[in-house]
Chains A and B, each alone.
Chain A
Amino acid sequence: DAGVIQSPRHEVTEMGQEVTLRCKPISGHNSLFWYRQTMMRGLELLIYFNNNVPIDDSGMPEDRFSAKMPNASFSTLKIQPSEPRDSAVYFCASSLGAGEVGQPQHFGDGTRLSIL
């Protein structure tokens, strides 16, 4: 079975550019999560969707970040304009259900983002 697919795996771009990260969740999963991981702050939940609807975006750092889920099989996380402090590994995860007891999250391999 295909797992969570993220693209690109690596992104290097200059400050001020727009960055778009993509995620395809596992088929049949109806919850999707975007995380950011850095050495300083560890793993941070940015936003999560249930049935394509954003449920909690309290972790989105600022207005430069936006996320969409136009359908059950695709989500994007966009940063515009990007800044060097946005450099991190961004993970997408999906799960079955809205966090019911015992349902694990399945993670993609992440996008390593470097903003110069």
Chain B
Amino acid sequence: GDSVTQMEGPVTLSEEAFLTINCTYTATGYPSLFWYVQYPGEGLQLLLKATKADDKGSNKGFEATYRKETTSFHLEKGSVQVSDSAVYFCAQFNAGNNRKLIWGLGTSLAVNP
């Protein structure tokens, strides 16, 4: 069945380091892809999205490109800040999945000053 696989955490970086969190998916057809972020003690919130191949989603300095060839949607940021410390979730939406989001397990990021 359809699935989302994220790199395992925790990821620990120093401030201003480059961030990559890998996400790959399996799907029938062409899903929409999302990154959500969960800050401590809060619910998840949408970070960025891409709805078709080669689209690039971006927000708050984060970017992810929908790569159909590699079935990937890796999250990147050029220079992380302490305030980026959170858990990041990759997800896909495919109308064939009874219209549900399929979630990755989340990747915890800790940024040290």
- Chain B residues, Cβ within 8 Å of A52: none
Contact, CB under 8 Å: B100 / A104: no
A43 engages B100 (CB within 8 Å): no
Given A43-B89, A108-B43, A55-B98 contact (CB < 8 Å): yes
A2 at the interface (CB under 8 A from B): no
- Tell me whether B14 is interfacial, beta carbon within 8 Å: no
Residues of chain B from 9 to 34 with CB closer than 8 A to chain A in the complex = 32, 34
Residues 31 to 85 of chain A near chain B (Cβ within 8 Å)? 42-43, 45, 48, 50, 55-56
A101→B94 CA distance, assembly (Å): 8
- Set of chain A residues within 8 Å of B45, measured between Cβ atoms: 106-107
Contacts A43-B89, A104-B34; is A98 near B43 (CB within 8 Å)? no
Whether A107 pairs with B98 at a CB distance below 8 angstroms is no
For B43, B44, B100, B105, which residue has the most chain A Cβ atoms within 10 angstroms?
A: B43
What count of chain B residues pass the 8 Å CB interface test?
A: 20
The yes or no answer to B82 lying at the interface (CB within 8 A) is no
Q: How far is the CA of A116 from the CA of B28 in the complex (A)?
A: 43
Asked whether, in the complex, the Cβ of B100 is within 8 Å of the Cβ of A45, the reply is yes
Q: Which one of A55, A105, A109 has the greatest number of beta carbons of chain B within 10 Å?
A: A105
Which residue of B has the minimal Cβ distance to A6?
B43
Residues of B within 8 A of A106 (CB): 45-46
The count of chain A contact residues (Cβ–Cβ below 8 Å) is 21
Contacts of A101 in B (CB 8 A): 32, 51, 93, 95
A85 vs B44: C-alpha distance when bound (angstroms): 23
Residues 32 to 64 of chain B near chain A (Cβ within 8 Å)? 32, 34, 41-46, 49, 51
Closest chain-B Cβ to A3's Cβ sits at a distance in Å of 8
CB <8 Å contact, A102 and B49? yes
CB distance from B2 to the nearest CB of A (A): 13
Q: Which residues of A contact B42 (CB under 8 A)?
A: 109-110
Does A26 sit at the interface, judged by CB under 8 A?
no
Complex contact B105–A110 (CB within 8 A)? no
Instruction: Count chain A CB atoms within 10 A of each CB in B42, B44, B45 and give the residue with the most.
Output: B44
A residues sitting closer than 8 Å to B (CB atoms) are: 4, 42-43, 45, 48, 50, 55-56, 91, 93, 98-99, 101-102, 104-110
